[in-house]
Amino acid sequence: MSLKPSPEETPGLRRRFVVSSLIVAGLFCVLALRLWYLQVLGVDHYRKLSERNRIRYVAIEAPRGAIFDRNGTLLVDNRPAFTVSALRQEIDGREQLFHNLARLLDIDEAQLEEHWRKGEGLPRYRPLPLLEDIGREAMEKVQENSVDLPGILVEVKPFRAYPFGETASHLFGYLGEVTEEELSQSEFSSYRSGEMVGKTALERLFEDRLRGIEGQKRIEVNVRGRELRQVTTRDPLPGQNLYLTIDAKLQLAAEEALGDRAGAVVALDVSSGEILAFASRPNFDPAWFARGISSDEWRELIENPSHPMTNKILRGQYPPGSTFKMVVALAALESGSATPATRVQCDGSINLGSYEYRCWKKGGHGSVDLNTAIKESCDVWFYRVGLETGIDRIASAAHRLGLGQPTGFPFGGERSGMIPSRAWKKQRFGTSWYDGETVISSIGQGFVLATPLQLAVMTAALANGGTVWRPQIVEKIVNLDGNTDWVLQPEKLGETAWNSSALNAVRKGMAAVVNEVGGTAWRSRMETIRYAGKTGTAQVVRRKDDNEEAPDDEEIPYQHRDHALFVSFAPVEKPQIAVAVVVEHGGHGSSAAAPVAKAIYEAYFAEKGNGSAPPRHDASGG
Amino acid sequence: MFDRRLVTHFDWTYLLLILLIAGIGIANLFSATSSWTTAVPPVYLKQFYWLGLGLLIIAVICLFDYRHLEYFSFPLYGGNLLLLVLVLAVGRTSMGATRWISLAGLNVQPSEIMKIVIIVTLARYFSDKAHLRGFSLRELIVPGLLLGIPALLIMKQPDLGTALLVLCIGGTMALYAGVQRSAFFVLCLTGLAAAVGGWFLLHDYQRQRILTFLNPERDPLGAGYHIIQSKIAVGSGGFSGLGFMKGTQSQLSFLPERHTDFAFSVFAEEWGLTGCLLLLALYCLIVLWGLNIALRSNDRFGMYLALGVSAMLFWHIVVNLGMVIGLLPVVGVPLPLFSYGGTSMVTTMIGVGLLMNVSMRRFMF
């Protein structure tokens, strides 16, 4: 057993005790200093880091603004859609979970896996969408079985809803997820990946106004990212509402009248350029895009020979055919190369050099004046008068009526049509103009092309005495609080200076087309309203010269059949509305296109009440 | 035969300090694990039971005169070495390290026992051999082996933290016993060389820890995560703390291992600098008190025993606190009386029992 330290050892031990005590105290002081450094000097810094740890900002999608027609009928809205999402941090056995979920909803597990992979880039605390827009029944199934589905939750998000289905889809356009490419542009700097954005038409044009301002939820999360509580919430602000110039009843009438046929219908208010109907068929279903279109569906749309994704009103360029004859007539009257009384003998064709240009009527119309030439659409009268007037004067008149240039409609991709002239041909082909080209241009064939919208604008100008209005689609934009933020101002594209006698002569001919026996649209006349119009039949393929008789439509392959056109306005006396109709490969303007216009007028005047429309004068005529 | 002096000479103040710290520790565990609803019984209650066992251990140890230990020190040492070898041979592996061994149905951690046994062994050795001149290099060979062999065995498990602690405890005792200046410098240089050489012997995860300690941001979600989160917790405590059970770093589980090695971070976040300084003072006090017991002990064995236990407590405290406040790399060293864990509690209480044994028997012959 060791003894008590010897006396000579004691001072040494005491010194060691003092030294070691000092070392101990010193090191504790170092710890204390470090604590002071962290907790007093660093407190702000570390509290910020601590907050960043636990506070997450979650965006709340704002409902997009709604779209109404001019009478306040709801056209596009939002509906609550149920989305099944996964809270990844709470999922342990994914395979088993997906198996359960797939069996419950009778779907394919691979589909869930695919969405899982797609969403893995999302922040952990954000729910990963697995199934978008499941029905209420499926939603209830998921909620009832939530005990067996840990980490699965049902979210409610606003989805675009279309009460009228496919109607006017070319007007609204569609939504799609913002692309990676877009996200890298400054225009989309405020967008988050996965957000829906307007891709075409109104949805795109008014993206900024329709989008609204997203809300924000500050949530406190734990280390696994589980939401514990909401700290603060800023509610989203819905987007602004659009009120269109469209009249839903006319729109429906137009689309119904076109039916399964491909084509376009535009109805304009002749005194302002407001678009009352805007139909391009076939449509696509915008709801497919709202919920995310599948590749099969997309292929189906793209491969459809009737091009449902093409807005034919703006992008369809058709030879106007006989609907161009008013332009030729006005140019002739203006230049004095013809008067309304000028008579031309139609024997069924004219010869120019070695070429023969035939009238549509094989036997000829006999001696015709301007009125008859329009009414019965005599080609020979216009061949002769057109030759007399010259292509450049015709082109000038056409330009003043809005043809040959875009109307400035704000959707992207509007085509400008084509009005040929000598200078144009020289520049384009380096060759001079031939008289034969004037001949066929005079009946709206050859180089001449127009969009349905241009034809409507032209017809409205004829109806209102010569004012070319810019076609407009939005009547007003209304804020959430009901205040109007923007309102339509009619805008003149041009004012033509034809004297009223020339215009009246042309309009008289157009009235005769519908309302007089022998007029090409006589069969589409109305009992209560007198309207004026002009049929057109645009050749897609030129017929062989030796072809004695045009074959029946049924015998021609669809894509070779003529386009049917009809431009018109109503009522004759005090015009209010102009309508242009193009039925692709529809055959004759009289039989295929005119009834579509008639259907619109019926809807239009039924709504207005017959009282405002003047009675027919010659209801029993001929 | 019960000696009344066992009660009168008992160091009640020291026991009070120990109980105070343990009490704060249990309250802190209550807060740290309040979100764990599944643990039955709750962690803080288990720690309470361990504390009870610890007190029993103190009582039992105090019944016997510590001087009897002198005779058992070398057999104890030998037995413990055997256990360490057995651990390497047949031990239970968990989380990449083999530290446990089953002994008569009990899971024991021989490396943890070694902390006490090395104290007893070196106390025995130094009390016999110490002299006024201090140890020369040659004279340090035997204690060096006594210390080095178990340290190597523990490092092999691998358990770097415990191995370093054993070395620290032994080193402190040797320095206290007296080391000649020349020997001291030679040892320092050797140590430095060993540190450089040891770098290449370290396990990959150990190297990671050191690298990450030097720059936690190099791996903020991996190895650096502990240090970063712990510093955030401590720092955001501020001067007065966020309040009991109100620390978000701990309550929302951003702080890892908050009931064991990082328990102090929870305390620092919720009680701020004020609370930390108080706790620091208490810890400092028990170390100084232990040194005082060593100084006043009746014999050299008791002195070295008290000194060794004080060193053990001191190094645990300093290494753990240094780690959680970002001064030292993350080595798995618990904070005595504060971190949850039966092993730590038992080891600490055996040490405390020995200290009190020495303290109360300085008047008795």
Q: How many residues does chain A have?
A: 622
pLDDT of residue A209: 93
> Could you report the per-residue pLDDT of B268-314, keeping only the tens digit for each?
999 999 999 999 999 999 999 999 999 988 888 999 999 999 999 99
Architecture of domain A57-244: Alpha-Beta Complex (3.90)
B260 and B158 part of one domain: no
B98 and B178 part of one domain: yes
What element of type H or E holds A244? strand A241-244
pLDDT of residue A3: 54
pLDDT of residue A155: 83
Q: List Cβ neighbours of B190 (8 Å cut-off, separation of 6 or more).
A: none
For residue B105, pLDDT over 90 is answered with: no
pLDDT of residue B4: 75
> Could you report the per-residue pLDDT of B225-282, keeping only the tens digit for each?
888 899 999 999 999 999 999 888 888 888 888 889 999 999 999 999 999 999 999 9
For residue A455, pLDDT over 60 is answered with: yes
b/e string for B134-151 if b means 16 or more Cβ within 10 A? bbebebbeebbebbeebb
Tell me if A57-244 shares its fold with A311-592: no
Q: List Cβ neighbours of A121 (8 Å cut-off, separation of 6 or more).
A: A193
Query: pLDDT above 70 covers what percent of chain A?
Result: 93
Q: Which residue of A has its CA nearest to B249?
A: A50
pLDDT of residue A621: 33
Kind of pairing between the strands at A263-269 and A577-583: antiparallel
Q: Give the HSE-up count for residue B34: Cα atoms under 13 Å, Cβ half-sphere.
A: 16
Q: Where are the domains of chain A?
A: 57-244, 311-592
Q: Measured between CB atoms, which of A1, A34, A54 is closest to B325? A: A34
For residue A14, pLDDT over 70 is answered with: yes
Inspect the interface and report whether the beta carbons of A40 and B238 lie closer than 8 Å.
Answer: yes
- Structurally, how many domains does chain B consist of? 2
B225 and B243 part of one domain: yes
> Residues of A with CB below 8 A from B322's CB?
31
For residue B178, pLDDT over 80 is answered with: yes
Stretch A160-167: mean pLDDT: 93
Domain range enclosing B276: 1-63+220-365
> Could you report the per-residue pLDDT of B64-103, keeping only the tens digit for each?
899 999 899 999 999 999 999 988 888 777 666 677 887 7
Average pLDDT score, chain A = 89
Query: Within a 10 A sphere around the Cβ of A412, how many other Cβ atoms?
Result: 12
Inspect the interface and report whether the beta carbons of B132 and A46 lie closer than 8 Å.
Answer: no
Q: What is the ipTM of this complex?
A: 0.93
- Nearest chain B CA: its distance from A313 CA (Å): 57
**Alpha helices for A390-447 (secondary structure H):** 391-400, 422-429, 435-441
Inspect the interface and report whether the beta carbons of A40 and B273 lie closer than 8 Å.
Answer: yes
For residue A553, pLDDT over 70 is answered with: no
Listed by number, the residues of chain A in 26-55 with a beta carbon closer than 8 Å to a beta carbon of chain B are 27-28, 30-32, 34-36, 38-40, 42-43, 45-47, 49-50, 53-54
For residue A543, pLDDT over 60 is answered with: no
Q: Closest Cα to residue A489, out of A258, A273, A330, A338?
A: A273
Q: Any idea what the Cα angle at residue A26 is, between residues A20 and A31, rounded to 5°?
A: 130
Confidence of residue B223 (pLDDT cuts 50, 70, 90): low
pLDDT of residue A298: 92
Stretch A397-416: mean pLDDT: 93
**In this structure, is the dihedral angle defined by the CA atoms of residues B19, B24, B26 and B27, taken in order, positive or negative?**
positive
Confidence of residue B224 (pLDDT cuts 50, 70, 90): confident
> Residues of B with CB below 8 A from A43's CB?
235-239
B182 and B259 part of one domain: no
Confidence of residue A293 (pLDDT cuts 50, 70, 90): confident
**In this structure, is the dihedral angle defined by the CA atoms of residues A39, A41, A47 and A52, taken in order, positive or negative?**
negative
Inspect the interface and report whether the beta carbons of B276 and A35 lie closer than 8 Å.
Answer: yes
**In this structure, is the dihedral angle defined by the CA atoms of residues A361, A365, A368 and A372, taken in order, positive or negative?**
negative
- Nearest chain A CA: its distance from B197 CA (Å): 28
pLDDT of residue A228: 73
Stretch A402-428: mean pLDDT: 94
Between B162-166, B195-199, B204-208, B269-273, the lowest mean confidence (pLDDT) is in B204-208
Confidence of residue A622 (pLDDT cuts 50, 70, 90): very low
Tokens of A440: 């066929």
A284 near A298, Cβ under 8 Å? Answer: no
> Residues of A with CB below 8 A from B300's CB?
2-5
Kind of pairing between the strands at A532-538 and A215-221: unpaired
pLDDT of residue B363: 74
Q: Closest Cα to residue A394, out of A486, A329, A478?
A: A329
pLDDT of residue A8: 61
Q: Measured between CB atoms, which of A39, A45, A222 is closest to B273? A: A39
End-to-end CA distance of chain A: 146
> Which 8-state DSSP code applies to residue A324?
G
B265 near B330, Cβ under 8 Å? Answer: no
B346 and B253 part of one domain: yes
> Residues of B with CB below 8 A from A35's CB?
234, 268, 273, 276-277, 280, 325
pLDDT of residue A241: 95
Stretch A271-282: mean pLDDT: 96
B84 and B184 part of one domain: yes
> Could you report the per-residue pLDDT of A468-488, keeping only the tens digit for each?
999 999 999 999 888 998 999
Comparison of pLDDT for A229 and B235, the residue scoring more: B235
Taking the CA atoms of chain A, what radius of gyration do you get in angstroms?
36
> Could you report the per-residue pLDDT of A58-74, keeping only the tens digit for each?
778 889 999 999 999 99
Residue A494: φ, ψ to 5°: 180, 165
In a domain, B297, yes or no: yes
Kind of pairing between the strands at A241-244 and A67-68: parallel
Confidence of residue A617 (pLDDT cuts 50, 70, 90): very low
Domain boundary among B202, B233, B261: B202
Distances (CA, A) of B112 to A63, A336, A536, B84: 64, 118, 102, 10
Comparison of pLDDT for A115 and A226, the residue scoring more: A115
B124 and B243 part of one domain: no
Tokens of B116: 């006490």
Q: Give the HSE-up count for residue B199: Cα atoms under 13 Å, Cβ half-sphere.
A: 8
> Could you report the per-residue pLDDT of A35-57, keeping only the tens digit for each?
999 999 999 999 998 888 888 77
Between A135-144, B5-14, B98-107, the lowest mean confidence (pLDDT) is in B98-107
Confidence of residue A1 (pLDDT cuts 50, 70, 90): very low
B165 and B287 part of one domain: no
Confidence of residue B119 (pLDDT cuts 50, 70, 90): very high
> Could you report the per-residue pLDDT of A323-361, keeping only the tens digit for each?
999 999 999 999 999 999 999 999 999 999 889 999 998
A197 near A178, Cβ under 8 Å? Answer: yes
In a domain, B209, yes or no: no
E strand segments, chain B: 92-94, 97-103, 106-108
| Residue showing tokens 């030679």 | B186
B351 near B17, Cβ under 8 Å? Answer: no
For residue A551, pLDDT over 70 is answered with: no
pLDDT of residue A618: 42
Domain boundary among B202, B230, B245: B202
**In this structure, is the dihedral angle defined by the CA atoms of residues A568, A571, A573 and A574, taken in order, positive or negative?**
negative
End-to-end CA distance of chain B: 16
Beta bridge partners of A433: none
B76 and B172 part of one domain: yes
> Could you report the per-residue pLDDT of A363-384, keeping only the tens digit for each?
899 999 999 999 999 999 999 9
In a domain, B249, yes or no: yes
> Could you report the per-residue pLDDT of A581-608, keeping only the tens digit for each?
999 999 888 899 999 999 999 999 997 7
In a domain, B46, yes or no: yes
Q: Which residue of B has its CA nearest to A228?
A: B252
Q: List Cβ neighbours of B285 (8 Å cut-off, separation of 6 or more).
A: B17
For residue B134, pLDDT over 50 is answered with: yes
pLDDT of residue A595: 95
B123 and B186 part of one domain: yes
Query: What is the C-alpha to C-alpha distance for residues A414 and A139, in angstroms, rounded to an integer?
Result: 43
pLDDT of residue A326: 96
Confidence of residue A557 (pLDDT cuts 50, 70, 90): confident
Distances (CA, A) of A36 to B243, B244, B330: 18, 20, 21
User: What's the fold here for domain A311-592?
Assistant: Beta-lactamase (3.40.710)
What element of type H or E holds A484? strand A484-487
Stretch A425-441: mean pLDDT: 94
Between A97-106, A312-321, B261-270, the lowest mean confidence (pLDDT) is in A97-106
Stretch A120-130: mean pLDDT: 78
Query: What is the C-alpha to C-alpha distance for residues A82 and A154, in angstroms, rounded to an integer?
Result: 6
Inspect the interface and report whether the beta carbons of A2 and B301 lie closer than 8 Å.
Answer: yes
Inspect the interface and report whether the beta carbons of B300 and A5 lie closer than 8 Å.
Answer: yes
For residue A612, pLDDT over 60 is answered with: no
B279 and B331 part of one domain: yes
pLDDT of residue B39: 66
Beta bridge partners of A213: A237
pLDDT of residue A546: 43
Comparison of pLDDT for A368 and A87, the residue scoring more: A368
pLDDT of residue A575: 96
Give the count of Cβ contacts less than 8 A between chain A and B.
129
Inspect the interface and report whether the beta carbons of B67 and A1 lie closer than 8 Å.
Answer: yes
Average pLDDT score, chain B = 88
pLDDT of residue A6: 58
Stretch B150-167: mean pLDDT: 89
Cis amide bond preceding A308, omega within 30: no
Instruction: Select the residue from A13, A15, A18, A20 to test the B interface by mutation, using most B Cβ atoms within 10 A.
Output: A20
Query: Within a 10 A sphere around the Cβ of A36, how many other Cβ atoms?
Result: 15
B97 and B177 part of one domain: yes
For residue B205, pLDDT over 80 is answered with: no
In a domain, B278, yes or no: yes
Collapsing DSSP states into helix, strand and coil, what is residue A493?
Answer: strand
> Residues of B with CB below 8 A from A49's CB?
232, 235-236
